[in-house]
Amino acid sequence: MKKLSIIFSLVLLLSSCDKFLDINENPNYPSDVSDELLLTSGIAAVTNVYCADWGLIGSFWSQHWAQNNTSSQYKIYESYAISSNTNVIERSYRAMFVDGLSDNEIFLKKVEANENWGAYLMGAVIKAYGFQYLVDMYGNVPYTEAFLGLDKLNPIIDRGEDIYANIYQLLIDALDKDFSNYVIENYELNDIIFEGDIDYWAEFANSLRLRILLRQFDANSAFATAEITQLIADMEAENIYLLDKDVAVTNFEDADSKSNPLYESDQRQLNTTNNLKACATFVSYLEANEDTRIESLFTPVSGVFLGLVPGSYNVPSTEFEAPNLIASPIVEPEMPVYWMTFAESELLIAEAYLRLGNVEMAKAYYESGVAESFSRMGADIGDLLSGAYAFPTSGFNDQLKAIIMQKWVDAAEGGRGIESHIERVRTGYPEETTINDQIQVGYTLPAEYIPGTLIYSKKGTTGGILPRRFPYPDSELNFNSNAAEYKALSDADVILQKVWWKN
């Protein structure tokens, strides 16, 4: 497989030629760049945004991590003070469109023209994956006119529900194509996720379909129920398959510009290991349940796993120095970036069965998902599935909570907090503490605190309401005349707005 030094060079080379909103070429008439290189570039760029930018913010908002009190790099994340001109919001939005989805759109056009349907499925999955996150975190975004270059400098802003319908149908159509002429050897080196294995891409497409359906279950229940019923029936009949392995980019090196994007941006480029600390919310939950995954997720101090209360970053170092007291998340240069884990896919199926009223199968897939999460992290599950993590015997809300809480824990590995943040917005789990006012800055929680309940940041700027979404970046607001939807609102109000599937 190609190393990421080559991959990220490709990202820079290819993205210099096509720009979102001001691109010089129309992807309907792409220049002569090989589709294999475009595939690599698109995957690498999406991976970088998902992990190093969105994953980092999501890990603060999911309260996996907290800001160290002897540094200040991520205070705005933990205080919910991001704005339309915050660098990471501007950078990640444009990078997802320009460096990731734009190159992928050119790839899609090229392989579609050649009726290369196996490669087309890869591009369709990447497009659906990227746009689902754009809708989940920004609401309404450009879609139908997003990549028309000079032909459409002010693309319309499509409704989130319409984008969801489009990407779902895109996956259906791509899965229905004839893959018999697909040549895996053409993509083994450049597909840095599955090495060209189209069967795995089909499995990922089906797991992504299920995630898209579950996201909209409350807002579009008739459609979601019908589609989930058919998807599960097809799975049981073995007409389709869902993931049985992780979706991961793994070929990182411990070298400058070749390492995991989160490690590269947070530790190598900033030349420190002290920005990120464990959050008291999360470690309290793991410790209360004697969850051994804590040892795979954090490095303790003197054998003790302490976490910071969100918003404790201004505690004077004369009171305590977090690096000498608080556990640190394990972030390593060769750490994989998981687009979706096998554990998550199993937990998605568990929720699907629960929604359809089949508690027995929901329990089976729940237990499989939890066991797989422990296995991937190299942790001993012991008797937790018959103890603290036993699937509730009754009560839909309790059963759904059990599933989502396990997704919360699973997403803590590798900085995938953006997914658990979205799931919290969708389901309300983890729940919020009812004693927020009794919790003080620092690392000590009162006896009345329920482990794992979210704590509104002691430095929160959104009036006691946890954030839901990102603000639009300035580049969209200022240069696209169709992007007026949130322009009149303050950034603090924007991040409290609901996306379409949260009624």
pLDDT value of position 31: 52
441 band by pLDDT with thresholds 50, 70 and 90 = very high
Q: Does residue 357 register a pLDDT over 70? A: yes
Average pLDDT over residues 418-435: 98
pLDDT tens by residue, 231-248: 999 999 999 999 999 999
Q: What is the enclosing helix (H) or strand (E) of 65?
A: strand 65-67
Structural domain spans, the chain: 4-252+336-433+467-478
Q: What is the dihedral of CA 294, 296, 299, 303, to 10 degrees?
A: 60
Average pLDDT over residues 11-38: 50
Inter-residue contact 300 to 327 (CB < 8 Å): yes
* 45, 120, 431, 478 from 85: Cα distances, Å: 21, 35, 30, 11
How many CB atoms within 10 Å of residue 195? 13
Helix axes 160-175, 117-138, angle to 10 degrees: 160
Helix axes 342-355, 198-215, angle to 10 degrees: 40
Residue 20 tokens read as 């979102």
pTM recorded for the entire structure: 0.93
Q: Does residue 69 register a pLDDT over 90? A: yes
pLDDT tens by residue, 48-65: 999 999 999 999 999 999
pLDDT value of position 21: 32
* Cα(124)–Cα(208) distance, integer angstroms: 11
Beta strands in 244-342 (DSSP E): 247-249, 276-278, 298-299, 328-329, 337-340
pLDDT tens by residue, 277-316: 999 999 999 999 999 999 999 999 999 999 999 999 999 9
Number of H helices, E strands in the chain: 19, 8
Residue 73 tokens read as 């790099």
Inter-residue contact 88 to 307 (CB < 8 Å): no
Percent share of the chain, pLDDT over 90: 82
pLDDT value of position 486: 64
pLDDT value of position 9: 36
Beta strands in 126-281 (DSSP E): 141-142, 157-158, 247-249, 276-278
Residue 162 tokens read as 């319409």
208 Cβ contact partners less than 8 Å away, ≥ 6 residues apart? 125, 128, 129, 132, 171, 340
Q: Would strands 247-249 and 65-67 be described as parallel, antiparallel, or unpaired? A: unpaired
pLDDT value of position 27: 47
Closest CA to 376 of 201, 193, 245: 245
* Cα(79)–Cα(61) distance, integer angstroms: 9
Q: Does residue 15 register a pLDDT over 80? A: no
More confident residue, 21 or 99: 99
How many CB atoms within 10 Å of residue 341? 27
pLDDT value of position 71: 87
CATH classification for the domain delimited by 4-252+336-433+467-478, as one of 3.20.20.30, 1.25.40.390, 3.40.630.10, 2.40.110.20:
1.25.40.390
Q: Does residue 189 register a pLDDT over 90? A: yes
Backbone angles phi, psi at 203, to 5 degrees: -65, -45
Inter-residue contact 277 to 68 (CB < 8 Å): yes
